[in-house]
Amino acid sequence: MLSRAQKRLQREYEEMTKSYGEMFQVRIKDDSMMLWEVSFIGAQGTVFAGEPFTLQFKFDSNYPIESPEVIFLGRYPEHEHVYSNGYICLSILYDEWSPSMRVSSVVLSIQSMLSSATHKSRPKNDAQFSSYANGRSPKSFNWIFEDEKC
């Protein structure tokens, strides 16, 4: 029997493949549906145009009450809100999460964040944070969001 989280994820998966199949590719990585990879290409006319990216979504049994853990895998965009370990500083992944949000809305928000960049750069504390965060969940940190900086 599927849990409430699994039922919700199954509905979201069906919606995403139907409505966003041209925009991104969704892969379920385990039988429980609790680990996803979502791939997309950087939007034309942006500093990330044509670049491929993959997000990993880890869900727990409290989804959608609690946000998923979302990180970039493989090739990380050089963006002032993306650390070189793939962690993303974006308020909707933490403090501003709402159960009404969906995987598709998170992906679209991250695509929008990347599309609004005017240049490529890492966060100022990237090296220090990335080494400190090694092996820890991004959700275990107390992120501070102020003036569009992390």
Q: Which residues are catalytic?
A: 89
| 8 Å CB contact between 97 and 66 | yes
Tokens of 97: 């999460």
Supply 78's token pair. Answer: 């050089």
Q: How far apart are CA 143 and CA 125, in angstroms?
A: 13
Tokens of 36: 């996803």
Q: Give the residue from 61, 53, 14 showing the smallest Cα distance to 37.
A: 53
